Amino acid sequence: MSTTSHAHPSPAVEPLSLSQPRGIDQIVAGVSTSDGDGVKLTRVLHQPLQQRLDPYLMLDAFGSDNPGDYIGGFPSHPHRGFETVTYMISGRMRHRDSAGHEGLLSNGGVQWMTAGRGLVHSELPEQEEGLMEGFQLWLNLPAKDKMREPWYRDIQSPEIPEFVTPAGVHVRVIAGASHGVHGAVQREHTEPLYLDITLPPGAEFAQPLLDDRNALVYVFRESLYIGSAEIPTKRMAILANEPGSDGVVLRAPASNHSPARALLIAGKPLHEPIAQYGPFVMNTREQVTQAVHDFQHGKLG
């Protein structure tokens, strides 16, 4: 796992050309909801899409400069059976968990937590005003790893590898690899790819993807084209799974007033049963019942 510090983007990399880029399967608007102590958010990837976007279980987007939308944060709550990846675009959030980990997540940083067999944690804002914006992604664990030892890592913004293409596209590589640049985190079974991509108006970016990977693009600044389809801001495009396809091409309309920005997230599906009850994600109902029992009897940390 890379722990190298990358304070500045690496030199420009040469653009790649793809022979059979993917199209879009569907565009999803997400559902407005609240979680924790009243934190307002948009659930972009929710339970009905879990099998389609396996190994990913959930993607929440939050963003507000109204403290009433976020100030309550996420008080102590349990997790078992998967990983949570919190990416802070703007703002400060304090993490504490029952395994003794504590860290401050701030602008551009990532918190990667493997709940494994279980822990109880809290995520509380360390700001009383200003913008808080970011994402939380849930990544499933294979059945054999669901009861593994919990693990946690704070990745500060300078530790996330970055590069710029000749077209001026800026890419932050949170997980996986892009254009020869390896991300801050690698995972063996799900092989997650997690990129934050900023495209100036008129710019294109190509990312190779194996055709068995499930993938999504979430646009959160301006709009983007994938093929002939335009994805508006605050929309998720689920990429089509096309045999023989070799990646995806993102293009920012020349008419955009400012750079477009999007997350590109892909992974290798586990093809295992998913049994979820709130913050517990296992393979069978019996395992979920056991998780609830363990939590009620103080066995999750």
Position 13 confidence tier, pLDDT thresholds 50, 70, 90: low
pLDDT tens sequence across 116-136: 999 999 999 999 999 999 999
pLDDT at 300 over 70: yes
pLDDT at 6 over 70: no
In this predicted structure, what is the pLDDT of residue 16?
77
Q: How far apart are alpha carbons 219 and 48 in whole angstroms?
A: 21
Tokens 């063996």: give the residue. Answer: 188
b/e code 260-298 from CB counts within 10 Å (16+ = b): bbbbbbbbbbbebebbbeebbbbbeeebbeebbebbeee
Q: For a pLDDT cut of 70, what percent of the chain falls above it?
A: 95
pLDDT tens sequence across 44-77: 999 999 999 999 999 999 999 999 999 999 999 9
Torsion of the alpha carbons at 280, 285, 286 and 288, rounded to the nearest 10: 10
In this predicted structure, what is the pLDDT of residue 280?
97
Q: How far apart are alpha carbons 209 and 189 in whole angstroms?
A: 16
Whether residue 55 is preceded by a cis peptide bond, meaning omega within 30 degrees of 0, is: yes
pTM (two decimals): 0.94
pLDDT tens sequence across 165-189: 999 999 999 999 999 999 999 999 9
Please compute the mean of the pLDDT values over residues 138-161 and round it to a whole number.
96
Mean of per-residue pLDDT scores for the chain:
94
pLDDT tens sequence across 279-291: 999 999 999 999 9
